Amino acid sequence: MKRIVVLGGGISGYGSAILAQKKGFEVFLSDAGRIADRYKERLLEWKVPFEEGGHTEELILDASEVIKSPGIPDKAPIVQKLREKGIPVISEMEFAGRYLGRAKTICITGSNGKTTTTSLIYKIMRDAGKRVALGGNIGESFAYSVAQGGYDWYVLELSSFQLDGMFEFRADIGVLMNITPDHLDRYGYCFQNYVDSKMRITQNQHSRNWFIYSGDDEVIWREIEKRGAALHMKQLPFAVKNVVASGAGDAFPDGDTGKFTAVAGAREVKIDTRKMQIKGLHNTYNAMAAALATLAAGVSPAKIRKAIYEFAPVEHRLEPVAEIGGVQWINDSKATNVDSVWYALESMTRPVVWIAGGTDKGNDYEPLKAFAREKVHTLVCMGLDNEKLVKSFTGVVPEIVSTKSLDEAMQACTAAARPGDAVLLSPACASFDLFRNYENRGELFKEQVRMLEKR
């Protein structure tokens, strides 16, 4: 009997272990840390053997195949030992993708915008009456949903780490929002390595599949040009600035009307961005991509339009928290890279007190300086090491305050903000120096704002 070992007991790991158990494999799950009680309960319910608090090497290195959670880097000693022994190491997506049957996938990746776009596509599909599951980086474990069965479509947000462990998997509809420098610490500080990872969204696609991508992203169209004839799928570009020819369809603005038209094959939908609850150029891109993906999936234009107009902002992404004394407080904790912050600052219509900082991922802050100079009057750095931020924006932003906790940052923002201002938490960095993750950072920020509201 084939022996499957699952590394990591989070949402990706527990779902993979349960699917493997259901398919009749000998299964063992190992987590170097503590497994959350809710996942442990399900593992016990399905009688999956597991360990936590460390890896027992002889039990892991005896595997036929290993499913690795995306948070575990390839340089982890146990992963290196597996590779030395020639044991295949794959992702949850690769494993669960083997058991889809007739179900299809819409897979969304990109450096920015993928969570909003994934959530929007899921809403459109669900509201259209499709039997659809949400998974990958958000929603339920993809593998667990496959184990439960009963779905015709899986809408999956995919990180570069998940794509790295996918080999035979094929997206029926692949969406690539953009490629900008991110996670370079996991890619040997080589941007091309990261680009190659993102382009894996196209791997194995054939002429009946769809590839939706930003025609305004120079990196993407250079990669498409480079790959040329190797890309056999139907291509659907979306763009605001460039004109990209495609016989399969596209999405472009209708002049300066605030509307855009999306076309996929014989289907077409017109969207008035002024009627959308999600605002800004980045959300126009997100809506274009979602419209193209759901047209390709066969959803009617009327249902696409209705769902896009109803869609509310995603938590932690330019999320309005409160207006207190004429100051608007905005939670953009999900902006963990420079490109995300570029779109956040681009959308600001008020003078800004900007909270940034955390664990730097090899950031180049140069692209932010024009907007910072134009819109930000105070930069509040929030992190254990703010030296790079302070140095980068000295002479760009009039006031810079260095803080080492959320409490200190909130005090600095309260002192700096004037009626008519926006306080924007848009860190451009990972959260791990002070917080568990970006969600924890955003939740604590919102709690502090609500406390201010009660004063």
For residue 128, the model assigns a pLDDT of 97
For CATH 3.40.1190.10, the residue range(s) in the chain are 96-310
Which ranges in the chain are annotated with CATH 3.40.50.720? 3-90
**Per-residue pLDDT, 295:** 98
**Contact predicate 384/434, CB 8 Å:** yes
For residue 84, pLDDT over 90 is answered with: yes
Q: Say how far apart CA 338 and CA 106 lie, in whole Å.
A: 27
CATH 3.40.50.720 is the classification of domain 3-90: yes
Residue 22 has pLDDT above 90, yes or no: yes
pLDDT > 80? residue 304: yes
Pull the structure tokens for residue 442.
């955003």
Q: Kindly indicate whether the domain formed by 319-454 is annotated with CATH number 3.40.1280.10.
A: no
pLDDT value at 73 more than 90: no
Structure tokens at 197: 């990872």
Q: pLDDT tens, 206-259?
A: 999 999 999 999 999 899 998 887 788 999 999 998 877 787 899 999 988 899
Identify the residue with better confidence: 98 or 74.
Answer: 98
pLDDT of residue 281: 87
Residue pLDDT, tens place only, 350-386? 999 999 999 887 888 998 999 999 999 999 999 988 9
Q: What is the mean pLDDT of residues 51-61?
A: 94
Q: pLDDT averaged over the chain? A: 92
Q: In which band, very low, low, confident or very high, does the pLDDT at 71 lie, cut at 50, 70 and 90? A: confident
Q: Give how far the C-alpha of residue 449 lies from the chain's centroid of Cα atoms, to the nearest Å.
A: 25
Name which of 19-23, 157-161, 371-375, 424-428 the model is least confident about: 157-161
pLDDT for the residue numbered 205: 96
CB atoms within 10 A of CB 111: 23
Q: What is the pLDDT of residues 134-144, one digit of tens each?
A: 999 888 899 99
**Nearest Cα residue to 160 out of 173, 145, 179, 146:** 179
Average pLDDT rounded to a whole number, residues 270-282? 91
Instruction: Indicate whether 100 pLDDT > 90.
Output: yes
pLDDT of residue 279: 82
Task: Quickly state the pLDDT bin for 96 (edges 50, 70, 90).
Answer: very high
Segment 30-46 mean pLDDT: 91
Work out the pLDDT band at 317, boundaries 50, 70, 90: confident
| pLDDT number for residue 155 | 97
For the domain spanning 96-310, the CATH number is 3.40.1190.10
Average pLDDT (306-317) is 88
For the stretch 421-451, what's the b/e string if a residue is b when 16 or more beta carbons lie within 10 angstroms of its beta carbon? bbbbbbbbbbbeebbeebeebbbbbbebbee
Is pLDDT at 117 greater than 90 in this prediction? yes
Rounded to an integer, the average pLDDT of 21-37 is 93
Q: Is the model's pLDDT at 123 over the cut of 90?
A: yes
CB 65 within 8 A of CB 94: no
Which of the residue ranges 148-152, 179-183, 429-433 would you say has the lowest mean pLDDT? 179-183
Check residue 449 and give left, alpha or beta (phi > 0: left; psi -120 to 50: alpha): alpha
pTM of the model: 0.77
Mean pLDDT across the stretch 37-54? Answer: 92
What mean pLDDT do residues 319-341 have? Answer: 90
CATH 3.90.190.20 residue ranges for the chain: 319-454
pLDDT over 90 (residue 20): yes
